[in-house]
């Protein structure tokens, strides 16, 4: 059995961290028989310069037919004309693949408690998942436009739209996920102000009453949540929220782990008749133009995204755990990229150096 994975490095540090993800996959193929075939796909600014579009039809088709996609990051692509970028960028790929459920786990590693911006006693033991709705909301709502008014001043419009079906679909995933964890869901919206927030709360409440009373449900207004996640993040298990709030709140939560370079993600769609879910795995971070080309990006978010792929797309739980344990062991052993707080006197490792430390632990743990 071969597992076909399309790897799309993208731009900036996306290229750098995907090279490390590839090394991990190759190690797993050689030592664990994971039989993953990597085919490279292109997306990003360079592709646009060369071809006039940032992502070709072939790449979209290859992504749809692959067993999973590993994605680095795109960015710096703001120079690409907006209509082309919208039609052929990352959002278009998520839409084309039907990826509505974005899992963003946040974990406080014991070894990184000096890297988090929270107090150790607040961050210690945090283990939560932000489940972000990924295919609707203000990212895709119509109308969206910028117009020039008679006054000569411009006016811009974005539209937040959610249907009951979209809310129920992501809420069901949240409750099912909670059943495999600590049985708690926090649903985050702004129902005191927004129509979509009101509908969100109604639909989540009704689904909970009808099918998931064994799961503890809390509704948290998004502004309060932004405070609570910093005050006491351990109170959360599964956090389900919309596309925009999920984007913001997961980046903020990254500092519980110690760096945006630590957060992996899985984006999943609806299972087909054979049970296969369309899936794309990517670090939560972007192309980081401020550090691109320096060889200092943290590859852990990308490597943990490989672990998520092993678990969610291929059911290779033992291999996923092996990768996660190797990451933890490398951190325990003192490996730190520059984004993680480096204690006086300790030299940070490079991107490749972090992967080397992780691969040494893989070798040691696999025997």
Ligand X SMILES: CC(C)[C@H](C(=O)O)[C@@H](O)C(=O)O
Ligand Y SMILES: NC(=O)c1ccc[n+]([C@@H]2O[C@H](COP(=O)([O-])OP(=O)(O)OC[C@H]3O[C@@H](n4cnc5c(N)ncnc54)[C@H](O)[C@@H]3O)[C@@H](O)[C@H]2O)c1
**Residues labelled as active-site residues:** 139, 190, 223, 247, 251
> Residue 9, SS3?
strand
Q: What count of other Cβ atoms lies within 10 Å of the Cβ of residue 328? A: 18
256 beta partners = none
**CA–CA separation, 308 and 318 (whole Å):** 12
Choose the stretch contacting Mg ion; rule: CB under 5 A; options: 136-144, 155-163, 239-247, 252-260: 239-247
**Is 300 marked within a binding site?**
no
As given in the structure block, the two tokens for residue 255 are: 């500092």
Taking the least distance from each CB to ligand X, the nearer of 36 and 249 is: 249
Tokens 């204690």 correspond to what residue? 343
Q: Which of 62, 90, 101, 256 touches ligand X (CB under 6 A)?
A: 90
Per CB under 5 A, does 282 bind Mg ion?
A: no
**Is 7 marked within a binding site?**
no
Q: What count of other Cβ atoms lies within 10 Å of the Cβ of residue 343? A: 9
126 binds, among Mg ion, ligand X, ligand Y, none (CB under 5 to 8 A by kind): none
Total residues binding ligand X (CB under 6 A):
5
Per CB under 5 A, does 247 bind Mg ion?
A: yes
**Is 151 marked within a binding site?**
no
298 binds, among ligand X, ligand Y, Mg ion, none (CB under 5 to 8 A by kind): ligand Y
Q: Is the dihedral of CA 215, 216, 217, 223 positive or negative?
A: negative
Query: Would you say 18 and 44 are in contact if contact means Cβ atoms under 8 Å apart?
Result: no
Taking the least distance from each CB to ligand X, the nearer of 111 and 134 is: 134
**Is 288 marked within a binding site?**
yes
Taking the least distance from each CB to ligand X, the nearer of 247 and 339 is: 247
Look up residue 118 and give its DSSP letter. Answer: S
Nearest to 300 by CA among 279, 341, 331: 331
Least distance between Mg ion and beta carbon 141 (Å) = 18
Residues 41-80 close enough to bind ligand Y by CB under 6 A: 73-76, 78
Least distance between ligand X and beta carbon 338 (Å) = 22
At 280, phi and psi to the nearest 5? -135, 135
**Is 11 marked within a binding site?**
no
Look up residue 102 and give its DSSP letter. Answer: E
Per CB under 6 A, does 129 bind ligand X?
A: no
Residues 263-292 close enough to bind ligand X by CB under 6 A: 284, 286
Rg (CA), the chain: 20
Residues 248-287 close enough to bind ligand Y by CB under 6 A: 260-261, 282, 285-287
Provide DSSP, 125-148. Answer: T-EEEEEEE-SSGGGT-S--EEEE
Q: Which residues are annotated as a binding site for NAD(+)?
A: 286-298
Residues that bind Mg ion (CB under 5 A): 247
Residues that bind ligand X (CB under 6 A): 90-91, 247, 284, 286
């Amino acid at each position: 059995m071969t597992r076909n994975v399309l790897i799309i490095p993208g731009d900036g540090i996306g290229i750098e961290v995907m090279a490390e993800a590839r090394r991990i996959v190759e190690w797993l193929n050689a030592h664990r028989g994971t039989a993953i075939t990597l085919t490279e796909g292109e997306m990003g600014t360079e592709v646009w310069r060369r071809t006039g579009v940032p992502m070709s039809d072939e790449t979209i088709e290859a992504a749809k037919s692959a067993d999973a996609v590993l994605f680095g990051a795109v960015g710096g692509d703001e120079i690409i004309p907006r209509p082309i970028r919208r039609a052929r960028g990352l959002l278009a790929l998520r839409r084309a693949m039907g990826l509505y459920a974005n899992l963003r786990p946040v974990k406080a590693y014991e070894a990184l408690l000096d890297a988090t911006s929270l107090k150790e006693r607040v961050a210690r033991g945090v283990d939560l998942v932000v489940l972000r709705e990924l295919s609707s909301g203000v990212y895709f709502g119509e109308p969206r436009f910028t117009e020039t008014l008679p006054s000569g001043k411009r006016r811009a419009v974005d539209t937040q739209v959610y249907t009951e079906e979209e809310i129920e679909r992501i809420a069901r995933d949240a409750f099912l996920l909670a059943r495999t964890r600590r049985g708690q869901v926090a649903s985050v919206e702004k129902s005191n102000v927004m129509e979509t927030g009101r509908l969100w709360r109604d639909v989540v409440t009704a689904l909970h009453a009808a099918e998931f009373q064994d799961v503890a449900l809390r509704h948290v207004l998004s502004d309060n949540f932004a405070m609570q996640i910093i005050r006491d993040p351990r109170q959360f298990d599964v956090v389900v929220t919309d596309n925009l709030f999920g984007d913001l709140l997961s980046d903020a939560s990254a500092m519980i782990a110690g760096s945006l370079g630590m957060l992996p993600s899985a984006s999943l769609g609806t299972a087909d008749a054979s049970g296969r879910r369309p899936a794309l795995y990517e670090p939560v971070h972007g192309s980081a133009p401020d550090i691109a080309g320096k060889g200092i990006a943290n590859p852990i978010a990308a490597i943990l995204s490989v672990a998520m792929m092993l678990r969610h797309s291929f059911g290779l739980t033992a291999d996923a755990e092996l990768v996660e344990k190797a990451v933890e062991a490398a951190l325990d052993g003192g490996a730190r990229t520059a984004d993680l707080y480096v204690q006086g006197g300790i030299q940070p490792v490079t991107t490749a150096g972090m992967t080397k430390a992780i691969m040494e632990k893989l070798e040691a743990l696999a025997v």
